């Protein structure tokens, strides 16, 4: 590894010298084993993989310099642990400790790829050696995630090697704060947290607002279930967030940054803490940064588990140590009067991560990416019933179909596509007929959904839309802060009605009541949470009304999901009394014994379907039936 630089970086030139010296020390024949150590890959055992690489390299002593490097998330978590061998960039997925020795001997020693660990394109059956060959990555355009999976998140030197802090150096040595703001304005960058407010305007109003102290708050309270791009950026490339914040601080005239992170993300907190310490050691944070006279410090505040704190005023309340109650209208903009009544720029992680690249490559370059009104790229967390799940970064304006089918590989198994949900609990469900919708702020809003923080959940025909709406409303009523009547009681009431419908207790007229409640909650709630949580109800009714009607009038769930409307049973003439399902049942609801045909105790059954899964296909003894057929 490159020798540690202890001396502080005092000028932009010394940063450049440091970068050059790091590059100079790299031997051209050196090989790097990059092991993904994001939360996803760690859960699949990448820590052990990395250790066994180190052991194996000591044991086999391959030629040349070999560096084992840990890196952040590559977004293809389902195929983790992921190992990439540089400089050939051979991409191995699902690597276990047992595979390490082979990779070392084949790839590191001989430079050959290990065929069986390569990704196989399911469409063509061809093996993909490089990341870029894999369909999942082919159509992506990675700006925000450009370093994720490449840079070592716990080593500032590695970030500097990847042109890190160059944008900051450029800003403080060559640009005035006003120029920075006009750059950002020209780039057309809009907030990635959901509402899409132009970032440049936000900075400008904060800059112009009077205030002794100004704050830059990075919103890392990624509460939307199903979204994890901010986590990946904070974990995999923490310095880009710091750099973005510093540039914002310089532009706005702020010396104090706060990163508000969910405490569900311990690794992100850890990496950010390390990054702040390292940047401070190098003099990139603190007083007189690179000799410019600009001072900036960053503090981490951990969230305490409240979804509503992703809302700007609630987040400010939370940092101030109060209940996370959003402020009702009329209220001053946070950018004018936010934390402790001072001008506060509140930007999402992804927004801030866009800033350095805009400065480096220019506003014009950035504004050519994307659509007319939505510039740049957007990261989506693709999940659900799709073949390739993970983080996907695409140019704005890419259609949903491209994301789901070309990148995501389409729906899993032989099921049919039903809907895609964007924007988490604040978004809506979009049906197949709208799949050619380009993804940008306006188009999604028109379809009744929102961009949101970028969750994208694909649902197949086995998903019940009423149940889905119930799920989101359950989340909403649980996370409603309780301050305003409409949101508190409205979400509860909608949840109750939806719950009744899924139980088969729906009443004629329920759909109209739901719509009326949804519209009122949308119009009358205090904050963005209340104003947007009815979206899942409105859109599912709009696009999937017939499913609601089936539930209400026929007491039937076509997807066989709603538990009270279905039951599992064992066909006695097919059951071979093999005990498989009996043992697998998580709640011991199956009665029977060896030589005695099994039966399901319907009072105990939680309808999880485990019995159906374990029943050998040749027996096919378990079936799921709609309640009406019982």
Partner 1 sequence: MKEGRLGKILSVFKGKKGGLISILQRVQEEFGYLPEEALSEIAVFMGLSSSQVFSVATFYAHFYLNRRGDHLVRVCQGTACHVRGARNILETAQYKLGIKTGETTEDYKYSLERVACLGSCALAPIVVIDDTLYPQITTKKMTEILASVSDCEKYEGTELRKR
Partner 2 sequence: MSDISITINGLQVKAQEGATVLGAAQKAGIYIPTLCHCPDLTPEGVCRICLVKINNKKKLHPACRTPVQDGMAVVTDDAEIERVRRVTLELLLSDHDFNCLLCSKSGSCRLQELVNRIGYDESRLNRLNLVAKNLPIDNSNPFFSFNPNKCILCGICVRTCREISGVGAIDMAYRGYNMKVSTFGDKPLKGSVCVSCGECVERCPTAALIPKEELFPTRRVKTICAFCGVGCGLYLGVRGNKVVRAKGDRISSVNRGGLCVRGRYGYRFIHSNSRLSSPLVRAYDHLSSSRKINETENQDKPLTAPLIKQKDRFVEVSWDQVIKYVASTLMHYKGKQFAAFSSAKCTNEENYIFQKFVRTVMETNNIDHCARL
Binding region for partner 1 (CB under 8 A): 39-40, 42-45, 76-78, 80, 222-228, 231, 262-266, 301-307, 318-324, 340, 381-385, 389-391, 421, 424-425, 455, 457, 459, 463, 468, 471-472, 475, 478-479, 481, 584, 586-588, 606, 608-610, 613-614
Nearer to partner 1, 42 or 85 (CB): 42
Side-chain half-sphere exposure of 304, counting CA atoms within 13 A: 10
Residues 6+ apart with CB under 8 A from 84: 33, 34, 36, 74, 90, 91, 92, 131, 149
Residue 246 contacts which entry, partner 1, partner 2, none (Cβ below 5-8 A, type-dependent): none
Residue of 147, 152, 155, 165 whose CA lies nearest to 17: 165
Number of residues that bind partner 2 (CB under 8 A): 36
Residue of 129, 168, 144 whose CA lies nearest to 16: 168
Residue 525 binds partner 2 (CB under 8 A): yes
Minimum distance, C-beta of residue 364 to partner 1, in the bound complex (Å)? 34
Q: Which stretch binds partner 2 (CB under 8 A): 143-151, 282-290, 326-334, 353-361?
A: 326-334
Q: Beta partners for 438?
A: 399
Nearer to partner 1, 23 or 304 (CB): 304
Residue of 334, 377, 407, 402 whose CA lies nearest to 132: 407
Residue 328 contacts which entry, partner 1, partner 2, none (Cβ below 5-8 A, type-dependent): partner 2
Nearer to partner 1, 597 or 605 (CB): 605
Q: Beta partners for 429?
A: 421
Nearer to partner 1, 330 or 586 (CB): 586
Residue holding tokens 């809506």? 428
Residue 500 contacts which entry, partner 2, partner 1, none (Cβ below 5-8 A, type-dependent): partner 2
Residue 523 contacts which entry, partner 1, partner 2, none (Cβ below 5-8 A, type-dependent): partner 2
Residue 484 binds partner 2 (CB under 8 A): yes
Using CA atoms, how far apart are residues 471 and 22, in angstroms rounded to an integer? 51
Residue 581 binds partner 2 (CB under 8 A): no
Residue 275 contacts which entry, partner 1, partner 2, none (Cβ below 5-8 A, type-dependent): none
Minimum distance, C-beta of residue 479 to partner 2, in the bound complex (Å)? 7
Out of 3, 509, 586, 617, the only residue in the binding site for partner 2 (CB under 8 A) is 509
Residues 6+ apart with CB under 8 A from 288: 294, 295
DSSP line for 68-137: EEEE---S-GGGPSPEEEETTTEEE-S--HHHHHHHIIIIIII----GGGBEE-TTT--EE-BGGGSHHH
Using CA atoms, how far apart are residues 593 and 522, in angstroms rounded to an integer? 55
Minimum distance, C-beta of residue 443 to partner 1, in the bound complex (Å)? 21
Minimum distance, C-beta of residue 265 to partner 2, in the bound complex (Å)? 21
Residue 404 binds partner 2 (CB under 8 A): no
Minimum distance, C-beta of residue 480 to partner 2, in the bound complex (Å)? 4
Minimum distance, C-beta of residue 497 to partner 2, in the bound complex (Å)? 7
Minimum distance, C-beta of residue 328 to partner 2, in the bound complex (Å)? 4
Residue of 328, 376, 327, 319 whose CA lies nearest to 198: 376
Minimum distance, C-beta of residue 462 to partner 1, in the bound complex (Å)? 9
Minimum distance, C-beta of residue 523 to partner 1, in the bound complex (Å)? 25
For the chain, first and last CA: distance in Å? 68
Residue 353 contacts which entry, partner 2, partner 1, none (Cβ below 5-8 A, type-dependent): none
Residue 525 contacts which entry, partner 2, partner 1, none (Cβ below 5-8 A, type-dependent): partner 2
Residue 329 binds partner 2 (CB under 8 A): yes
Minimum distance, C-beta of residue 384 to partner 1, in the bound complex (Å)? 5
Using CA atoms, how far apart are residues 153 and 141, in angstroms rounded to an integer? 21
Nearer to partner 2, 328 or 341 (CB): 328
Residue 524 binds partner 2 (CB under 8 A): yes
Per-residue mark of binding to partner 2, 487-506 (x: CB under 8 A): -xxx-xx--xx--x------
Using CA atoms, how far apart are residues 283 and 286, in angstroms rounded to an integer? 6
Q: Where are the beta strands (DSSP E) in 11-126?
A: 31-36, 66-71, 83-86, 90-92, 119-120
Phi, psi of 191 (to 5 degrees): -55, 135
Residue holding tokens 């609630």? 314
Cis peptide before 573 (omega within 30 of 0): no
Minimum distance, C-beta of residue 374 to partner 2, in the bound complex (Å)? 21
Residue 304 binds partner 2 (CB under 8 A): no
Instruction: Write out 459-494 in H/E/C secondary structure.
Output: EECCCCHHHHHHHHHHHHHHHCCCCCHHHHHHHHHH
Nearer to partner 1, 77 or 290 (CB): 77
Q: Which stretch binds partner 2 (CB under 8 A): 4-12, 219-227, 327-335, 396-404?
A: 327-335
Residue 517 binds partner 2 (CB under 8 A): yes
Nearer to partner 2, 291 or 524 (CB): 524
Q: Let me know the angle formed at the C-alpha of 371 by 345 and 77, rounded to the nearest 5 degrees.
A: 70
Residue of 331, 336, 355, 314 whose CA lies nearest to 221: 314
Residue 319 binds partner 2 (CB under 8 A): no
Cis peptide before 359 (omega within 30 of 0): no
Residue pair 35/49 in contact by the 8 Å Cβ criterion: yes
Work out whether the CA dihedral 153, 157, 163, 168 comes out positive or negative.
positive
Using CA atoms, how far apart are residues 467 and 501, in angstroms rounded to an integer? 9
Minimum distance, C-beta of residue 266 to partner 1, in the bound complex (Å)? 7
Nearer to partner 2, 331 or 368 (CB): 331
Work out whether the CA dihedral 109, 115, 116, 117 comes out positive or negative.
positive
Residue of 253, 256, 247, 279 whose CA lies nearest to 359: 247
Residue 459 contacts which entry, partner 1, partner 2, none (Cβ below 5-8 A, type-dependent): partner 1
Minimum distance, C-beta of residue 545 to partner 2, in the bound complex (Å)? 18
Using CA atoms, how far apart are residues 279 and 257, in angstroms rounded to an integer? 14
> Which residues make up the interface to partner 2 (CB under 8 A)?
306, 323, 328-330, 477-486, 488-490, 492-493, 496-497, 500, 507, 509-510, 513, 516-517, 519-521, 523-526
């Amino acid at each position: 590894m490159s020798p540690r630089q202890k001396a502080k970086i005092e000028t932009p030139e010394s940063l450049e010298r440091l970068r050059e010296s790091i590059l100079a020390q790299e031997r051209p024949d050196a090989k790097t084993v990059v092991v993904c150590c994001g939360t996803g890959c760690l859960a699949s055992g990448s820590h052990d993989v990395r250790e066994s690489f180190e052991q194996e390299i000591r044991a086999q002593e391959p030629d040349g310099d070999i560096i084992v490097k840990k890196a952040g998330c590559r977004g293809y978590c389902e195929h983790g642990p992921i190992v990439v061998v540089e400089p050939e960039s051979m991409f191995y997925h699902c690597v276990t400790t047992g595979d390490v020795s082979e990779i070392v001997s084949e790839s590191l020693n001989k430079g050959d790829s290990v065929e069986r660990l390569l990704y196989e394109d399911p469409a063509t059956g061809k093996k993909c050696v490089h990341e870029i060959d894999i369909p999942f990555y082919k159509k992506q355009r990675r700006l925000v995630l450009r370093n994720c999976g490449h840079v070592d998140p716990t080593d500032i030197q590695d970030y500097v090697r990847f042109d890190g802090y160059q944008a900051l150096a450029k800003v403080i040595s060559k640009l005035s704060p006003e120029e920075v703001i006009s750059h950002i304005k020209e780039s057309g960058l809009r907030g990635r947290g959901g509402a899409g407010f132009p970032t440049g305007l936000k900075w400008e109003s904060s800059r112009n607002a009077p205030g002794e102290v100004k704050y830059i708050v990075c919103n890392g309270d990624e509460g939307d279930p199903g979204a994890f791009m901010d986590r990946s950026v904070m974990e995999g490339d923490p310095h880009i967030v710091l750099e973005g914040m510093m540039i914002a601080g310089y532009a706005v005239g702020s010396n104090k940054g706060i990163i508000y992170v969910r405490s569900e993300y311990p690794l992100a907190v850890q990496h950010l803490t390390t990054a702040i310490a390292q940047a401070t050691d190098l003099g990139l944070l603190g007083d007189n940064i690179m000799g410019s006279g600009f001072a900036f410090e960053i503090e981490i505040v951990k969230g305490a588990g409240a979804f509503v704190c992703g809302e700007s005023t609630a987040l400010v309340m939370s940092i101030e140590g109060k209940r996370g109650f959003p402020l009702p209208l009329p209220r001053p903009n946070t950018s004018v009067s936010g934390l402790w009544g001072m001008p506060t720029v509140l930007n999402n992680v992804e927004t801030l991560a866009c800033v350095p690249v805009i400065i480096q490559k220019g506003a014009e370059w950035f504004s050519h990416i994307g659509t007319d009104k939505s510039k740049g790229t957007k990261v989506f967390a693709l999940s659900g019933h799709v073949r390739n799940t993970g983080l996907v970064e695409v140019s704005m304006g890419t259609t949903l179909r491209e994301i789901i089918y070309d990148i995501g590989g389409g729906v899993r198994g032989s099921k049919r596509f039903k809907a895609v949900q964007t924007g988490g609990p604040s978004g809506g469900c979009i049906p197949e007929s709208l799949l050619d919708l380009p993804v940008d702020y306006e188009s999604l809003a028109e379809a009744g959904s929102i961009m949101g923080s970028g969750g994208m959940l694909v649902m197949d025909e086995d998903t019940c839309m009423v149940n889905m709406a119930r799920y989101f409303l359950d989340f909403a009523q649980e996370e409603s802060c309780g301050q305003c009547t409409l949101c508190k009681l409205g979400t509860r009431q909608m949840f109750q009605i939806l719950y009744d419908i899924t139980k088969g207790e729906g009443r004629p007229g329920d759909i109209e009541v739901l719509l009326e409640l949804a519209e009122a909650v949308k119009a009358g709630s205090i904050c963005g949470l209340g104003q947007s949580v009815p979206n899942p109800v409105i859109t599912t009714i709009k696009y999937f009304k017939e499913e609601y009607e089936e539930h209400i009038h026929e007491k039937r769930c076509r997807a066989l999901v709603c538990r009270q409307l279905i039951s599992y049973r064992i066909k006695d003439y097919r059951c071979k009394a093999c005990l498989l399902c009996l043992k697998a049942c998580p709640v011991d609801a199956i009665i029977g014994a060896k030589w005695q045909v099994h039966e399901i105790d319907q009072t105990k059954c939680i309808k999880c379907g485990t019995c159906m899964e374990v029943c050998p296909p040749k027996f096919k003894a378990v079936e799921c039936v709609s309640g009406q057929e019982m």
